[in-house]
A = this chain, B = another copy of it.
Amino acid sequence: MSTVMFEKITIIGLGLIGSSLARVIKRKNLAQKLVAADASESVCTKVRELGLADVVTPDITKSVIGSDLVILAVPVGVVRTVIEQIAPLLMPGAVLSDVCSVKSAVIEAAAPFLPESADLVPAHPIAGTEHSGPEAGLVDLFEGRWCILTPPPETSIKAVEKVTKFWEACGAQIEIMDAAHHDLVLGITSHLPHLIAYTIVDTADQLEDDLKAEVIKYSASGFQGFTRIAASDPIMWRDIFMNNKEAVLEILQRFTEDLTAMQKAIRRGDGNYLQDTFIRTRAIRREIIEMGTKAVPNPALVPLEVPKGRDSE
């Protein structure tokens, strides 16, 4: 279906995203040679067992030698260390990319180390599951999903085009955006919801034992969706909050104001305030459903899961 796009691709970090990338690169034959590098020996063993790459190595530094595309699929918290380590060995003309959920921090991390002969094209595929590790990867994880690229001004257009075609071959739809703006948008659509979900599950976790057991038993309701989000990778999410601090705190402040208003309405028995709000929020859902049916080329792949959705009151 697709043809070879790169001579040699190195993926550093073989978790959910990295191993999904490896799977789709192999399936669609996007590289002559695929190198999988992960500092964890046990991850390397697993990747070898799964047969996900041509070369599997724990030596991250050397893994990039001769690669025309290097993709960092590590938590954003270690991006700086990894770039510092690999930068001297990147070949001239190499494209460095990543898959982190935070983009300004990646650009800042790369700035002091990246040689002029290499191009940085930060990427964020908006895709994932609650599962982690190389065995959790899915060959179709990026199918019909957005992938946002945030190239800094000094990046060559050619490098951006290469990464665009690569992600399109992986099934994604590309959008190019300023890194800071990306971080704000994702702060709202993803980081704050995760923070809220983690918090509410944490609140439940601190309940008296009997009550907690019942909450788990009868969780087939709003709470259950939160637990799925709150089961996401702890290290990755720690790093996201540490590296998108300003945007998250800004949007959290707005949320807290709105929650306080809601609390006050409940305390005062102001049913009109609640009803008006609930009618407004319903409209957003409609817009998302309309957007979903328009935006994604193959409706079978739309990740909305809308009509199946069952919740409880």
Contact = CB atoms under 8 A, between A and B. Distances in A.
Given A203-B254, A263-B252, A266-B242, A311 B185 contact: no
- Copies per assembly: 2
A205 interface: yes
A285 interface: yes
Interface stretch (A32-40, A51-59, A226-234): A226-234
B312 A224 contact: no
Chain A contact patch, size range: 35 or more
Contacts of A228: 225, 285, 306, 309, 311
Interface stretch (A90-98, A112-120, A150-158, A270-278): A270-278
A241 B222 CA distance: 15
Given A195-B259, A237-B278, 7 more contacts: A129-B309, A190-B222, A198-B262, A222-B229, A228-B309, A242-B269, A249-B263
Interface of A: 77, 101, 126-130, 141, 145-146, 148, 184-186, 188-207, 211, 214-232, 234-242, 245, 248-249, 251-252, 254-256, 258-259, 262-263, 266-267, 269, 271, 274-275, 277-288, 291-292, 295, 303-306, 308-313
